[in-house]
Amino acid sequence: MQVKNRRAIRSRLAGALAPIALLAFSEISASAQTASDYAQNLNPLFQGVLTRPGNLSNTLQYAVGASQAGDIESAISTYEQLLFYNPKLSRTRFDLGVLYYELGSYDMARGYLQTALEMHDVTPELEQKTNDLLALIDKKLQPDQFTGFVQTGVRYQSNASLGPGSQTALASGQNFNSAFFARPDWNWFGTFGLNYVHDFETQTGETFEASFLGYDAQQFTLHQFDAGLMEVRAGPRFALSPGDVNGVTIKPYVVATGGLLADAPYYDGIGGGLTLHGHAGDISLDPYAEIVQQSFRNSTLYPLASGLSGTLSTLGLQAFEPLRSGLSWQGRVVYAHANDQFAFDSYDSYAADIWLPWNVSLGGTGRPWTIIPTAGVTRWIYGAPDPGIDPVTTARTTEWRVGLGLEIPIWEKFILATLVQYRDDASNVAAFSMRDLSVTAGPTFRF
């Protein structure tokens, strides 16, 4: 009965994800088809510009076609030609700003956007877009760049312990610790993320980067799950091909982590990693490898935690691609290997996640709302049966998670962020199976 329910849930998840995957695929294939078509038509259009530059229809088609085919310089040349014909058009200046931005020439982009705002024909919508892009460019032109968010709020969880149901029996015959039964609870949480980049302004493009992540949650009732954590990653970034704006960069970094559980020190870790940043077409790619030595501490509530101490090695790939105006996808695939004190705590895990942030305009000049469907799966394969849980079965657990986020602009950089997330862990060891529905809401400041 339980298996049937799980199958039904998975089938529903697959049904929900299919249109999203189809949408993403159709966007990608449509975009590829367009670029190819434009590329085929470019030469006759170019010949037209060369022989009859005053044919505005042909010249406009060539400008857009060149850009669609990825020939940004030809598009710039042609929009600058159009600017000669009418220097008062804010739209031309905005488009030139976008093209120079894509070229990595942020100063020229800023120049054209600033002058676009001076034109009399600028519409409120274009003004908003121009100001948004200017804010992005201003940040990129600073030697010290800060981006991130601060969020606080409340969260309801149907299973705050993320543990099994109270009817679950342990195959080991030991008593089930009732403190970890599945029970609902609320918590207050605060979290922040900060990314810092210092540009040394050398011609070879070296930067120093640091990222900070902090999180703390205080449960209303189940204080054994009060959790806090902090992660810091920092290191220099080097360009492998200086001068190529879209070239590959490499960053070695150090990582330090620490966490509290039940308001007592629970773990800390130190290690290092190596990450690359590059592009494949419009897709931004960040593969990484990281190794962290983790140390867990025993406590009254968690008397065996030190068994989790060991080395966590991770190989991952993060990707981002804008699909069309207001719609993009981000994805992550991660392989992790935990080599802990005991084989039954050690595991290999394989995870994949996708986010589809989608800006939805509600009309008028207000900022768009952002809807974020998310989905992910993780497969854990442990190293040996856990004698305290099930002495004969090696745990294999699959976690499915789906979520829907909604970000509602409130004022300037403040938004109201909500997230509904459902997790379903199915394991061949009953004590490792669980389900949880969480609902999170709170004000967020993005910068």
Partner 1 sequence: MTTRKAIVTVFAGVVLAAVPAVAQQVGTATAVNPTSESTPPGGSTVALTVGAKVVHKERIHTTPSGSVQLLFLDKSTLSIAPNTNLLIDEFIYDPNSDSGHMLANLTQGAMRYVGGKLSHQGEVTFSTADANIGIRGGTVTIIHGPNGTEVINHFGTITISNGGGTIVVTRPGFVVTITNWNTPPGQPVRVTAAEIEHYIKYLSSKFGQNGGIAGLNNIQLAECGTPTTKACPEPPWLPTDTGENDAFQVIIQSTQHATGTSPPPPPPSGPPCGHDC
Minimum distance from CB of 247 to partner 1 (Å)? Answer: 10
Q: How many residues bind partner 1 (CB under 8 A)?
A: 138
d(CA 355, CA 357): 6
DSSP string of 265-317?
A: EEEEEEEEEEEEEEEETTEEEEEEEEEEEEEE---SS-TTGGGG-EEEEEEEE
Which is nearer to partner 1, 104 or 272 (by Cβ)? 104
Q: What are phi and psi of 319, to 5 degrees?
A: -140, 150
Q: SS3 string of 240-266?
A: CCCCCCCCCEEEEEEEEEEEEECCEEE
**Which residue, 8 or 30, is less far from partner 1 as judged by CB?**
30
| Range in contact with partner 1 (rule: CB under 8 A) among 1-9, 16-24, 72-80, 269-277 | 72-80
Residues 206-265 that bind partner 1 (CB under 8 A): 213-215, 217, 225, 227-229, 231, 242-243, 245, 259, 261
Min CB(272)–partner 1 separation in Å: 18
Q: Are 41 and 33 in contact (CB under 8 A)?
A: no
Q: State the nearest-atom distance from the C-beta of 163 to partner 1, in Å.
A: 4
Residue from 2, 167, 201, 411 binding partner 1 (CB under 8 A):
201
Residues 319-358 that bind partner 1 (CB under 8 A): 320, 322-328, 330, 345, 355, 357
Q: Kindly write out the interface string for residues 95-114 of this chain, putting x where it contacts partner 1 by CB under 8 A and - elsewhere.
A: x--xxxxxxxxxxx-xxx-x
- Closest separation between CB of residue 97 and partner 1, Å? 9
**385 vs 389: CA distance, rounded Å:** 8
Q: Which of 67, 207, 249, 314 binds partner 1 (CB under 8 A)?
A: 67
What's the CA gap between 118 and 371, in Å, rounded?
A: 34
Q: What is the per-residue burial (b if ≥16 Cβ within 10 Å, else e) of 116-149?
A: beebeebeeebeebbeebbeebeeeeeeebeeeb
Q: Strand 144-157 relative to strand 358-360: parallel, antiparallel, unpaired?
A: unpaired
Distance (Å, rounded) from C-alpha 423 to C-alpha 182? 13
269 binds partner 1 (CB under 8 A): no
Residues 277-316 that bind partner 1 (CB under 8 A): 284, 300-305, 307-308
Q: Out of 41, 77, 218, 394, point to the residue binding partner 1 (CB under 8 A).
A: 77
One of 58, 92, 207, 275 touching partner 1 (CB under 8 A): 92
Q: Which of residues 351-410 bind partner 1 (CB under 8 A)?
A: 355, 357, 370, 372, 386, 388-389, 403, 405
Pick the binder of partner 1 from 131, 204, 221, 365 (CB under 8 A): 204
**Site membership for partner 1, residue 154 (CB under 8 A):** no
Give the CA angle between residues 97, 103, 105 to the nearest 5°: 65
Closest among 370, 373, 379, 361 to 331, alpha carbons compared = 373
Q: Least separation, in Å, of the C-beta of 249 and partner 1? A: 13
**Contacts of partner 1 in 4-33 (CB under 8 A):** 31
CB of residue 1 to partner 1, shortest distance in Å? 23
Of the ranges 3-11, 18-26, 90-98, 269-277, which one interacts with partner 1 (CB under 8 A)? 90-98
Closest approach of Cβ 144 to partner 1, in Å? 14
Which residue, 447, 357, 347, is CA-closest to 406?
357
Interface residue with partner 1 among 24, 38, 45, 49 (CB under 8 A) is 49
Nearest to 409 by CA among 374, 355, 356, 365: 365
